Amino acid sequence: MRSLAGRLALTHLLVVLIAVAAMDALVLVAFERLALHQRQVAAFTETNIAVNLVEPYYRPGCPPLESSPGLLEVVRSYATQSGSRVLALDGSGRVVADSMSPAGYTGRTLTHPEVAAALAGRSASRRRYLPTSGWVLYTVAPVLQDKRPVGAVFLATSLADVTQGLAGVARTMVLGSLAAVLVAGLAGVAAARSVTGPVVRLTRAVERMGRGDLGQRVAVRGRDEVATLTRAFNEMATRLQEEDERRREFLADVAHELQTPVAAIRAMAEPMAAGDDPSAPRQADGSDLEVYREFAREMAGQAERLGRLVGDLLELARLESPKVRLTCEEVDLADLARGVLESLRRDAEAAGVDLRAGSLEPVLVVGDGLRLEQVLVNLVTNGLRYAGAGRTVRVDVSREGGEARLRVADDGPGIAPEHLPHLFERFYRVDRSRSRRGGGTGLGLAIVKRIVELHGGSVSVVSRPGEGTTFEVRLPAARGPVKMS
Contact positions vs ligand ADP (CB under 6 A): 378, 382-383, 386, 410, 412, 415, 423, 428-431, 435, 440-446, 469
* Distance in Å, CB of 462 to ligand ADP, minimum: 11
Query: Closer CB to ligand ADP, residue 194 or residue 392?
Result: 392
Strand-pairing partners, residue 86, are 155
Helix, strand, coil share (%) of the chain residues, nearest 5: 55, 20, 25
Alpha helices in 224-286 (DSSP H): 225-275
Q: Which is nearer to ligand ADP, 63 or 438 (CB)?
A: 438
> 67 or 435, CB closer to ligand ADP?
435
* CA–CA distance, 197 with 328 (Å, rounded to integer): 52
Q: Shortest CA distance to 427 belongs to which of 415, 413, 441?
A: 441
| Distance in Å, CB of 442 to ligand ADP, minimum | 4
- Specify the DSSP class assigned to residue 483: P
CB of 385 to ligand ADP, least distance (A): 6
Q: Nearer Cβ to ligand ADP, position 125 or 382?
A: 382
Q: Which of 434, 430, 426, 421 is nearest to 460 (CA)?
A: 421
Closest among 408, 418, 394, 414 to 466, alpha carbons compared? 414
Beta strands 124-130; 134-145: pairing state: antiparallel
DSSP assignment, residue 267? H
Report DSSP letters for 365-416, one per residue: EEEEHHHHHHHHHHHHHHHHHHH-TT-EEEEEEEEETTEEEEEEEE-SS---
Shortest distance in whole angstroms from residue 405 CB to ligand ADP:
17
Report whether 75 contacts 99 (CB < 8 A): yes
Q: CB nearer to ligand ADP: give 229 or 430.
A: 430
Judged by CB, which is closer to ligand ADP: 270, or 320?
A: 320
In this structure, what is the dihedral angle of CA atoms 214, 218, 220, 221, given to the nearest 10 degrees?
-170
| Interatomic CA distance for residues 36 and 47, integer angstroms | 16
Q: How far is the CB of 463 from ligand ADP (least distance, A)?
A: 7
Q: How far is the CB of 390 from ligand ADP (least distance, A)?
A: 15
CA–centroid distance for 160 within its chain: 60
Shortest approach of ligand ADP to residue 376 CB, angstroms?
13
Say whether 467 sits in a helix, a strand or coil. Answer: coil
- C-beta of 292 vs 428, nearer to ligand ADP: 428
| Nearest distance, CB of residue 332 and ligand ADP, angstroms | 25
Name the residue type at position 65. L
Nearer to ligand ADP, 322 or 466 (CB): 466
Q: Which is nearer to ligand ADP, 32 or 431 (CB)?
A: 431
Shortest spacing between CB 304 and ligand ADP, in angstroms = 14
> At its nearest, how many Å lie between ligand ADP and the CB of residue 348?
13
Q: Which is nearer to ligand ADP, 258 or 272 (CB)?
A: 258
- CA proximity to 133, closest of 159, 154, 115: 159
Phi, psi of 393 (to 5 degrees): -120, 125
CA angle 204, 207, 210 (to 5 degrees): 155
Cross-strand pairs, 332: 364
* Start-to-end Cα distance in the chain: 80
For ligand ADP, the closer of residues 373 and 431 by Cβ is 431
As measured in angstroms, the least distance from the Cβ of 429 to ligand ADP is: 3
